[in-house]
């Protein structure tokens, strides 16, 4: 698949952003980190495209974006968790991720090369947190899950980051050395497109403060 | 290259296995917490119900009862010469007597106050004799010798028996109803058996909401008891309730 098609598929990020733009007044503040993440994602796609053309690599962009993505998603999950008692746990997780990133990127000085460890690590952490979030919702909330933005987005995260773990492993093996790895790497763009559609659906169902199970969190702070 | 591939696959498989295990453990953990929450909710509902029944029973017994007796007293003190008037007074007095009896009955059903003073066996026997006098059904109740029923579960067992008797009379058309409580190591068995027309529990639950059955199930859940219903159309109904007794 050419870089251009890959770039076009990655621009599917625009779909949830357009939905968010249309519904921005109706969306509760508790979802803002996710919207900011989408914006940063779009920006990183443009910067990556420019870097590939200029320096033949986008590794630094991907590395910095990974750290930002990890921190924002952790913060978003903390807000959705809606419980102060988890604050320390999320801070510790954030710090562990940050230390991991610093060791991998700064100490081992490989900001210009792709390495899978941090991306696999934070993907794994986010998958576990999302599973926990979905299970808690299934048992405690009296809402239709398929229309619940938190459920849809957590599900999207689980699919995306589980695939990311396999994708990074495939990248580590090398697309030129294994046909399967090559197919997995190629498939990521399509999966990314599907995840963006799921995010758009999630944003479509994001409600205002009224009737939103999480709205009292921000209001009560 | 082969080693790299092998170790990568192993590590990824382990990560995915951890994710799956975490998912299962998380479901189990939340389910356990949810069940506990459900139990506490039912417990609170039943306690509120009992308190409300107590309040209504006391109100009926303490205020309406004496008031009706006073009305009757005043009526009896009225001197009338006319026979027709006397007949009307006697009739009214009879109705007041009936109302007082009904009131006592309702009050008793709402709160078997004797449960505080007597054991469950005596209270159930009293209840059955009250019911038996008015209904064309033979109810027998037995408790095996030396069975000690913890005081705190007596009210729940009584309510379950009350519900079973009520359901049997109202729906089953049975001629005989056998109730028994037997003691086994660590548990009590409450067994009811009737020769009525039977029913299909799932259908009853789906069709009418099965309030009586739901009430029995709620009490059982509160007592951590197992409820087994063996029933089929025209084959009577047998209920086995296994209540764990701690300590």
**In the prediction, which pLDDT does B113 show?**
64
B18-44: per-residue pLDDT in tens? Answer: 999 999 999 999 999 988 888 888 888
Percentage of chain A with pLDDT > 90?
Answer: 55
**In the prediction, which pLDDT does B127 show?**
85
Do A139 and B8 count as a contact with CB atoms less than 8 A apart?
Answer: no
Chain A from 105 to 164: CB within 8 A of any B CB: 120, 124, 127-128, 131-132, 135-136, 138-140, 162
**In the prediction, which pLDDT does A201 show?**
94
CA distance readout (Å), B158 to B137, B161, B210: 19, 5, 19
Output the six-digit token pair for B203.
């259908």
Binding-site residues on chain B for chain A (CB distance < 8 A): 1, 4-5, 8-9, 11-12, 15-16, 18-19, 22-23, 26-27, 30-31, 33-34
Do A120 and B15 count as a contact with CB atoms less than 8 A apart?
Answer: yes
**Residue (of B147, B197, B201) closest to B174 by Cα position:** B197
Secondary structure of residue A207 in the 3-state scheme: coil
- Averaged pLDDT of chain B: 85
Residue in B closest to A166 by C-alpha: B12
Q: Do B212 and B178 form a contact (C-beta atoms < 8 A)?
A: no
Output the six-digit token pair for B90.
């006697």
The pLDDT confidence band at residue B133, using thresholds 50, 70 and 90, is confident
B191-215: per-residue pLDDT in tens? Answer: 999 988 887 777 766 665 566 788 8
Count of residues for chain A? 221
B40-92: per-residue pLDDT in tens? Answer: 888 888 888 888 888 888 888 788 888 888 888 888 888 888 888 888 888 99
B108-127: per-residue pLDDT in tens? Answer: 778 776 677 778 888 888 88
**Residue (of B105, B236, B240) closest to B173 by Cα position:** B236
**In the prediction, which pLDDT does A199 show?**
95
Residue entry with tokens 């249309």: A22
Residue in B closest to A173 by C-alpha: B5
Q: Can you name the residues that pair with B193 across neighbouring β-strands? A: B178, B238
**Looking at the partner chain, which of A131, A140, A169 has a beta carbon nearest the beta carbon of B23?**
A131
Given a cut of 60, whether residue B143 has pLDDT beyond it is yes
| Mean pLDDT (whole number) for A163-177 | 88
Which CATH number fits the domain B115-244, given the four candidates 3.40.50.300, 3.40.50.12160, 3.10.180.10, 3.30.565.10?
3.30.565.10
The pLDDT confidence band at residue A96, using thresholds 50, 70 and 90, is very high
B interface test, pick of A83, A123, A135 with most B CB neighbours within 10 Å:
A135
Do B19 and A136 count as a contact with CB atoms less than 8 A apart?
Answer: no
ipTM over 0.85: no
Do B19 and A128 count as a contact with CB atoms less than 8 A apart?
Answer: yes
Question: Residue B26: which residues within 8 A CB-CB, separation 6 or more?
Answer: A131, A132, A135
Q: Do A148 and A140 form a contact (C-beta atoms < 8 A)?
A: no
Which pTM does this prediction carry? 0.73
DSSP chain B: -HHHHHHHHHHHHHHHHHHHHHHHHHHHHHHHHHHHHHHHHHHHHHHHHHHHHHHHHHHIIIIIHHHHHHHHHHHHH-----HHHHHHHHHHHHHHHHHHHHHHHHHHHH--THHHHS-HHHHHHHHHHHHHHHSS-EEEEEE-TTPPPPHHHHHHHHHHHHHHHHHIIIII--SEEEEEEEEETTEEEEEEEE-S----HHHHHHHH--HHHHHHHHHHHHTT-EEEEEE-TTS-EEEEEEEE---
Size of interface A-B (CB pairs under 8 A): 42
**From-to residues of CATH 3.30.565.10 in chain B:** 115-244
A2-61: per-residue pLDDT in tens? Answer: 667 777 787 888 999 999 999 998 898 899 999 999 999 999 988 998 998 888 888 899
**Residue (of A76, A75, A67, A72) closest to A99 by Cα position:** A67
Radius of gyration of chain B (CA): 27
- Averaged pLDDT of chain A: 87
Do B16 and A172 count as a contact with CB atoms less than 8 A apart?
Answer: no
Domain ranges of chain A: 3-206
**Looking at the partner chain, which of B5, B12, B27 has a beta carbon nearest the beta carbon of A135?**
B27
Residue in B closest to A135 by C-alpha: B27
**Looking at the partner chain, which of A132, A140, A162 has a beta carbon nearest the beta carbon of B26?**
A132
Given a cut of 60, whether residue A104 has pLDDT beyond it is yes
Residue in A closest to B2 by C-alpha: A173
| Mean pLDDT (whole number) for A139-162 | 90
- Pairing between β-strand B138-143 and β-strand B237-244 as defined by DSSP bridges: unpaired
Q: How far is B224 from chain A (nearest CA, A)?
A: 21
**In the prediction, which pLDDT does B130 show?**
79
> CB contact, 8 Å: A173 with chain B?
yes
> CB contact, 8 Å: A15 with chain B?
no
Percentage of chain A with pLDDT > 70?
Answer: 92
**In the prediction, which pLDDT does A57 show?**
86
Question: Residue A213: which residues within 8 A CB-CB, separation 6 or more?
Answer: A82, A141, A143
Other beta carbons within 10 angstroms of residue A10's beta carbon come to 21
Q: Which residues of A touch B38 (CB under 8 A)?
A: none
Q: What are phi and psi of B215, to 5 degrees?
A: -60, -45
Q: Do A66 and A111 form a contact (C-beta atoms < 8 A)?
A: no
Q: Side-chain half-sphere of A96: how many Cα atoms within 13 Å?
A: 11
More confident: B69 or A215:
B69
As a whole number of angstroms, the distance between CA B190 and CA B181 comes to: 5
Q: How many helices (H) and strands (E) does chain A have?
A: 9, 0
Do B4 and A178 count as a contact with CB atoms less than 8 A apart?
Answer: no
Given a cut of 60, whether residue A219 has pLDDT beyond it is no
Given a cut of 50, whether residue A216 has pLDDT beyond it is no
More confident: B53 or A129:
A129
DSSP A125-182: HHHHHHHHHHHHHHHH--S-GGG-HHHHHHHHHHHHHHHHHHHHHHHHH-TTT-HHHH
């Amino acid at each position: 698949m050419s870089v251009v098609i890959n770039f076009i598929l990655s621009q599917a990020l625009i779909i949830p952003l357009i939905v968010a733009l249309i519904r921005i007044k109706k969306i509760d503040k508790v979802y803002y980190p996710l919207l900011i993440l989408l914006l940063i994602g779009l920006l990183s796609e443009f910067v990556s495209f420019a870097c590939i053309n200029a320096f033949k690599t986008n590794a630094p962009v991907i590395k910095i974006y990974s750290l930002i993505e990890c921190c924002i998603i952790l913060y978003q999950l903390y807000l959705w968790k809606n419980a102060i008692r988890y604050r320390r746990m999320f801070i510790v997780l954030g710090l562990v991720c940050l230390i991991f990133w610093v060791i991998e990127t700064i100490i081992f000085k490989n900001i210009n090369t792709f390495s899978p460890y941090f991306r696999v690590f934070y993907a794994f952490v986010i998958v576990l947190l999302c599973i926990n979030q979905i299970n808690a919702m299934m048992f405690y909330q009296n809402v239709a899950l398929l229309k619940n933005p938190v459920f849809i987005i957590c599900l999207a995260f689980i699919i995306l980051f589980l695939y990311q773990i396999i994708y990074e492993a495939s990248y580590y093996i090398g697309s030129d050395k294994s046909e399967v790895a090559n197919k997995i790497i190629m498939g990521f763009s399509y999966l990314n497109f599907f995840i963006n559609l799921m995010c758009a659906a999630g944003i479509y169902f994001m409600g205002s403060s009224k009737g939103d199970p999480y709205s009292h969190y921000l209001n009560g702070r | 290259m082969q080693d790299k591939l092998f170790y990568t696959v192993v590590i990824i498989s382990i990560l995915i296995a951890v994710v799956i295990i975490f998912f299962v453990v998380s479901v189990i953990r939340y389910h356990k917490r949810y069940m506990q929450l459900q139990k506490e909710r039912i417990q609170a509902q039943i306690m509120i119900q009992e308190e409300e029944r107590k309040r209504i029973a006391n109100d009926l017994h303490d205020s309406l009862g004496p008031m009706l007796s006073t009305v009757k007293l005043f009526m009896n003190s009225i001197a009338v010469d006319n026979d027709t008037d006397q007949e009307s007074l006697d009739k009214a007095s009879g109705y007041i007597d009936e109302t007082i009896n009904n009131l006592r009955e309702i009050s008793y059903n709402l709160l078997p106050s004797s449960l505080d003073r007597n054991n469950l066996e005596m209270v159930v026997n009293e209840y059955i004799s009250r019911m038996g006098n008015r209904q064309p059904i033979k109810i027998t109740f037995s408790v095996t010798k030396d069975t000690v029923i913890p005081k705190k579960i007596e009210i729940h067992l009584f309510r379950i028996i009350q519900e079973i008797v009520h359901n049997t009379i109202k729906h089953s058309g049975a001629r005989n109803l056998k109730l028994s409580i037997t003691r086994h190591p660590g548990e009590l068995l409450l067994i009811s058996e009737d020769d009525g027309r039977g029913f299909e529990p799932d259908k009853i639950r789906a069709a009418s909401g099965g309030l009586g059955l739901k009430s029995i199930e709620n009490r059982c859940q509160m007592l951590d008891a197992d409820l087994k219903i063996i029933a089929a159309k025209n084959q009577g109904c047998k209920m086995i309730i296994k209540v764990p007794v701690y300590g």
